[in-house]
Amino acid sequence: MPRVVVVGSFNVDHAWHCAQLPRPGETLAGEYATGAGGKGFNQAVASAAAGAATTFVCALGDDDGGRLARRLAASHGIDLRAHQAATATGTAGIFVDAEGGNSIVIGAGANAALTPAFVAAQGEAIAAADVVLAQLESPVATVVESLRLARASGAHTVLNPAPANAACARELLLVTEVLTPNETEFAALLACHCGDTVDPAALGGMDEAALHRLCRILLPRGTLVLTLGAAGCFVSHREDNLRGDSVPHYRCPAAPAQVVDTTGAGDAFNGALAAGLALHPQRPFAAVVRQATRFAALSTERPGASSAMPSASEVEARYGPD
């Protein structure tokens, strides 16, 4: 069965839904909820829900959060490989406004204890994977090791360079086949590695040829998928590796949705993209991206992060067969 390995974070989410996001010094009333999150876990749940056999490599504390992660991984059929950390399981504080927008603060906790050595010990699982997916809520050296091992074994590598304020070493980009930043992350990477300054808010309306040139500067060897929220995404391929597509760059519109909460939308997209690459290696990349946008759109119609991930059957029922 096609396999995806996700290396990343697990957090216990504490979320408050309120009319608008609080300003500095402001106290608002809201509705509170808690549940499982972390970019790594959200993406692992999305990958499993999309139909791929999924392994999740992470670090957990010996506490209620860690036990929650183990219980939920089992319920989703995820093969959990967890380092037992001496610190508490990671946490996140999330504020969600009436339009589904959010602000998030992360407490890394055990996620910071995920080491390259522990990832290397999962070499058998990585060697058996079709796709290895990682983010930047884990130590950069650990993410580098994950993607390096994946490339060495012939697996495809996908890096979601989030959050935007995390360091993204050039070494990481060299072992990444598919890079999936949002507008803020893309602008931060360009500024860090290329010295180019762009306004994240202007990227959605930028001329396609100009945007393609920026993508090629940042990731000359791979495919870059720039996610643009409600505007969908922009895909930029290396000219000699179009991954089954007919053109080197194009836009993919977002699927329609009645937005309630956008917290896990990017994670739904990335998990479904990795699953699609594993499940349908001969399918044009554009078709895999289109399906991933549907997973992301449907996830926004539910509150929460990992709990908002739709199944493949739910996506098909809503948007029709791929």
Mind telling me the catalytic residues?
267
CA quadruple 11, 128, 48, 292: dihedral positive or negative? positive
Q: Which residues define the annotated binding site for ATP?
A: 182, 227-232, 266-267
Q: Which residues define the annotated binding site?
A: 11-13, 38-42, 137, 182, 227-232, 261, 263, 266-267, 299, 302, 304
Q: Which residues define the annotated binding site for substrate?
A: 11-13, 38-42, 137, 267
Predicted confidence band at 46 (pLDDT cuts at 50, 70, 90)? very high
Q: What is the pLDDT of residues 49-69, one digit of tens each?
A: 999 999 999 999 999 999 999
pLDDT at position 7 is 98
Mind listing the domains of the chain with CATH numbers?
3-22+33-316 (3.40.1190.20)
Predicted confidence band at 231 (pLDDT cuts at 50, 70, 90)? very high
pLDDT at 170 over 70: yes
Predicted confidence band at 195 (pLDDT cuts at 50, 70, 90)? confident
Q: What is the pLDDT of residues 116-128, one digit of tens each?
A: 999 999 999 999 9
> Mean pLDDT over all residues of the chain?
94
The position carrying tokens 């080197």 is 248
pLDDT at position 165 is 65
Residue 249's alpha-carbon distances to 181, 208, 321, in angstroms, are 16, 8, 25
Predicted confidence band at 239 (pLDDT cuts at 50, 70, 90)? very high
Contacts (Cβ under 8 Å, ≥6 apart) of 51: 275, 279, 312
Contact 229, 299 (CB under 8 A): no
**Average pLDDT over every residue of 29-49:** 95
Q: What is the pLDDT of residues 256-292, one digit of tens each?
A: 999 988 889 999 999 999 999 999 999 999 999 999 9
pLDDT at 218 over 80: yes
pLDDT at position 169 is 75
Any idea what DSSP says for residue 307? G
DSSP E strand boundaries for the chain: 3-7, 11-17, 31-37, 53-61, 79-85, 90-96, 102-107, 131-134, 156-159, 178-179, 223-227, 233-236, 249-252
Measured distance CA(282)–CA(92) in Å, rounded:
38
Q: Which residues define the annotated binding site for K(+)?
A: 261, 263, 299, 302, 304
pLDDT at 166 over 60: no
Predicted confidence band at 322 (pLDDT cuts at 50, 70, 90)? confident
pLDDT at position 197 is 86
Q: What is the pLDDT of residues 8-22, one digit of tens each?
A: 999 999 999 999 999
Measured distance CA(82)–CA(80) in Å, rounded:
6
pLDDT at position 241 is 96
CA quadruple 111, 116, 117, 119: dihedral positive or negative? positive
Measured distance CA(63)–CA(126) in Å, rounded:
27
Measured distance CA(260)–CA(263) in Å, rounded:
9
Predicted confidence band at 184 (pLDDT cuts at 50, 70, 90)? very high
Of residues 261 and 241, the one with the higher pLDDT is 241
Measured distance CA(202)–CA(199) in Å, rounded:
5
Least confident of 167-171, 301-305, 312-316: 167-171
Long-range CB contacts (within 8 A, 24+) of 202-207: 203/228, 203/234, 204/228, 204/229, 204/231
CA quadruple 302, 307, 309, 310: dihedral positive or negative? negative
Alpha helix stretches (DSSP H) within 100-182: 116-120, 123-127, 140-153, 170-174
